[in-house]
Amino acid sequence: MFLKSIFTNSFGILISRIFGLIRDLLTASVLGANIYSDMFFIAFKLPNLFRRIFAEGAFTQSFLPSFAKSKNKSAFAVAVFIRFIIVLAFFSLLVTLFDTFFTKLIAMGFSKEIVAKAAPLVAINFYYLILIFSVTFLATLLQYKNHFATTAFSTALLNISIITALLISKGMSAEVIVYYMSYAVVAGGVFQLIVHFIAIKKLGLFKIFTVGATSLKIRKYNLKNELNRFYKLFFPAILGNSTAQLSAFIDTYLATFLVSGSISFLYYANRIFQLPLALFAIAVSVAIFPKIAKFLKHQDKIKAYALIKKSFWLLAYLLSFSMIGGIILSKEIIWLIFQRGAFNDIDTAKTSLVLSMYMIGLVPFGLTKIFSLWLYSLHKQKTAAKISSISLGANIILSLALIIPLKAAGLALASSLSGFILFYLTVKEFGFKEFLGIILDKKLIYLIILLILEGIILYIFKGFIDVYI
């Protein structure tokens, strides 16, 4: 069951990321790395940030334990859903009415003319947030029933929607193309929501909504403590589980002060960085979280520790191999995937340098997700939030220090260095003694030997293919 859950998540994410790479390939070819691609990435950045926060941990890791403990599960679920939808709908309306203000807020380095052009795109893209929250809510209910496939595979629908928009709008002006892409983002969210409704219906979970809606008023008083407990877990979890995403958001914000194309360099490089992070770290953490939570709920720390150890070594090998490969072959990877059409040699060189800087932080960011599960399962969301705050603070300081000498690459390096701080503090809270019990294993020697061999092989391979690039 352990490997099956991981495989289901990984394979679904792989399919999605393949379509994601096709999407990015077309985007790079059609738009390149310029002010129009920067405008779209800024417009999509805020809802995409919330998507990653919701879908990759904060909501699920707070809602699932609270839902499991609730005495009125249906009423509790409906109450949470209604409250979030109202808040998000109000927020989306504000962004629509004051789109210029919010665009300037997230892209202060843009000129007034560029802000005016980007503002409508920001408003359109933001409606994706309501849709993806609804998807995440339904996905959490499916996860409670140990159903992962729908969520894992449905993420590809967003990418397919944008790919379709790019193909339809190819040959049009760049300004028109980014509008097609923005509307495609909303359409992708609708498609994701539809397939989740279908899965909910097949598993007979619609009764949660019907029963919950009818009993909500009757049980309102009983839900007060449960809702308060959920909110106390959720808000710290937003910060505690989102360091990598918030770091990328900070990178994009600061990049608005750099030359045109810098946001795109960061975006394309971060997309490659996110592939192994999602394919391995996120897939594993999503699969094992319900089990870790149940073990610790029943005070069975031995089984929980054993599962953490097993997952740690699986990720240590996969992420380490990906890190070495990503650093050594950064130029070749960017050249192969993106260099065509409007994306030229200079774009490849700058993006590959940014990718190398991001890949340095792959292992710490990925492994932190495993140890953070221990904290969330023990309801230590506030501790995780404190750790994340320190890491983010360090990221901001490092970004300001490195942005001038290294430009966009300095922002990526600052993000990676903050990942090491995050990992250290999370392991410290988990327990150094327990951590040493995991890492002091013969597997460590095998890992070091294999990484050395990988490095040698890749350098030889790089020498051959560099002749043709």
Tens of pLDDT, residue by residue over 223-275, are 788 888 888 878 777 776 666 667 777 887 888 888 888 988 998 899 899 88
Domain ranges of the chain: 1-241, 242-469
For residue 229, the Cα-to-chain-centroid distance in whole angstroms is: 25
| pLDDT in the model for residue 68 | 74
Residue recorded with tokens 């995440």: 136
| pLDDT in the model for residue 460 | 87
| pLDDT in the model for residue 286 | 77
CA 446 – CA 444 distance, rounded (Å): 5
- Quick: pLDDT tens for 387-442: 988 998 999 999 999 999 999 999 999 999 999 999 999 999 999 999 999 999 99
| pLDDT in the model for residue 50 | 72
Phi, psi of 341 (to 5 degrees): 60, -125
DSSP string computed for 307-373 = HHHHHHHHHHHHHHHHHHHHHHTHHHHHHHHH-STT--HHHHHHHHHHHHHHHTTHHHHHHHHHHHH
373 conformational bin, left if phi > 0, alpha if psi -120 to 50, beta if neither: alpha
DSSP string computed for 15-52 = HHHHHHHHHHHHHHHHT-SSHHHHHHHHHHHHHHHHHH
379 conformational bin, left if phi > 0, alpha if psi -120 to 50, beta if neither: left
Q: Is 217 helix (H, G, I), strand (E, B) or coil?
A: coil
Q: What is the pTM of this model?
A: 0.76
204 conformational bin, left if phi > 0, alpha if psi -120 to 50, beta if neither: left
At 81, which helix (H) or strand (E)?
helix 73-97
Q: Is 441 helix (H, G, I), strand (E, B) or coil?
A: coil
Instruction: Calculate the alpha carbon distances from 127 to 93, 94, 133, 142, 186 in Å.
Output: 9, 11, 10, 23, 7
Q: Tell me which residue of 232, 183, 238, 194 sits closest to 50, measured CA to CA.
A: 238
- Quick: pLDDT tens for 172-201: 888 899 999 999 999 999 999 999 999 999
The amino acid sitting at 210 is T
Q: Name residues of the chain where pLDDT drops below 50.
A: none
Q: Tell me which residue of 295, 292, 7, 8 sits closest to 147, measured CA to CA.
A: 8
